Amino acid sequence: MSIDTLNVYFLLFAAIMLFFNLQVFWEAVNSVIQVLVAILLLAVFFNLLSEYSLELVISNGGQFFFIVSFLSCLIPHARHKVILHDVRSQILIEKSNEQLKEQNRDINEKNNIIDMQYEQLRKLDEQKNSFINIAGHDLKNLIGSVVMSNNMIKEEEYRLSNDQKEFVGYISESAEKMQYMLNKLMDVKEISSPEMKFNVELFDANAEVQYVFKGLVETAHMKNIHLVDNILKLPLNVKLDRVFVGQVFQNLLSNAIKFSQTNNNIKVVTSLQRQKFVFEIIDEGLAIGQDELDMMFNKLKTLNDVSDSKESRLGLGLSIAKLMTQEMGGTLTYRSDENGNYFRVEFYVIN
């Protein structure tokens, strides 16, 4: 081969290597090995078969071969990086898709569980409404019997003593209140509504406390508990649901009597403070306990009485009293410490 044709030979050889590296998909190290092998074979070939020295060969076109060979090594390297990045991205996408599918399966399973629980709750709600309707109708019949019997006694009123007449009046009024509350309970729309509806009227709160006080005197006397009357004798008018307000006072005082020990005094106090009617029950006997009161006022709780009788009951009365007080815009507070038990209800008065 003449020295003049070396440039053409090297350019052709470099073009072949470049074309090859453009076609293959391998790592850059393979291209480097390929170039090194080509250079090695080229050096051996020229040393054995050519009369020209290697330096002369390199200076007459060999530099083009080395430059193109170096560039051909970079092409597979760049392509390999791009392909590797694409493959890793695809793997991540497939893993993400699998995770999403797994999460979707979990969500579907949880949705199925929620649907089953919702169906169970719906059936329980239907059973509750059915039970309320049945129990309500039965209670209506019982209250009707009480009212009818009480009316028959009223017809013989001339034979009754003053105390008996007072008790007959108390039974009549209590039956009317029970009938009113039962009608509220029977109204399924009101049960399902977010807000309780009240029959608001203007009345004397002190008179209502006095009525509740008189009705529980005998109950307290049976436990040898003395109720102290510190109820204001002047009227303090409030505009609320009279039946539910009376029920709040009834629940608080009856529970105070129930959980108080025998031979004890319970003060019932009413007052006017900062344009608010204040109803207080002060029991200076053995404390029920603040934690126990918290549970009684906030959820269903069975408590043992602190007296020797060890009687128990559901703490529904106090939680209902708290709920009704809040629904009517009032506040109910309580405490139990070394000084005894204290209950306080506040409602705004009407001038």
203 and 104 share a domain?
A: no
Amino acid at 232: L
200 and 127 share a domain?
A: no
Q: Which of 288, 296, 271 is nearest to 337 (CA)?
A: 288
209 and 340 share a domain?
A: yes
179 lies in some domain: no
The whole-number pLDDT of residue 24 equals 66
173 lies in some domain: no
| Domain stops at, among 101, 125, 140 | 140
159 lies in some domain: no
The whole-number pLDDT of residue 166 equals 82
Q: With contact defined as beta carbons under 8 Å apart, do 209 and 268 qualify?
A: yes
Q: How many domains does the chain have?
A: 2
**What CATH number is given to the structural domain containing 282?**
3.30.565.10
Residues 103, 108, 110, 115, Cα dihedral to 10°: 160
Phi, psi dihedrals of residue 313, rounded to the nearest 5°: -160, 165
Q: Which of 305, 302, 324 is nearest to 315 (CA)?
A: 302
110 lies in some domain: yes
CA distance 132 to 189: 13
Percent of the chain surpassing pLDDT 70: 81
| Domain stops at, among 140, 172, 187 | 140
| Domain stops at, among 108, 140, 172 | 140
Residues forming a β-bridge with 202 = 239
Lookup result for tokens 């005094």: 265
Percent of the chain surpassing pLDDT 90: 28
CA distance 90 to 40: 40
CA distance 332 to 336: 14
List average pLDDT for each run of 10 residues in the chain, which is 351 residues long. Answer: 64 74 68 75 66 62 72 74 85 92 93 93 81 74 81 83 84 80 62 65 94 89 92 93 90 88 91 94 86 75 43 60 89 89 94 68
The whole-number pLDDT of residue 196 equals 62
150 lies in some domain: no
Lookup result for tokens 């169970």: 120
Which DSSP category does 58 fall into? I
Q: Which of 128, 269, 102 is nearest to 94 (CA)?
A: 102
151 lies in some domain: no
Residues 125, 130, 132, 138, Cα dihedral to 10°: -170
123 and 267 share a domain?
A: no
Amino acid at 26: W
11 and 120 share a domain?
A: yes
The whole-number pLDDT of residue 310 equals 40
184 lies in some domain: no
The whole-number pLDDT of residue 74 equals 74
**Bridging pattern class, strands 264-273 and 225-230:** parallel
Q: With contact defined as beta carbons under 8 Å apart, do 303 and 292 qualify?
A: yes
316 lies in some domain: yes
pTM above 0.85, yes or no: no
108 and 220 share a domain?
A: no
User: What domain range is 342 assigned to?
Assistant: 195-348
Amino acid at 203: F
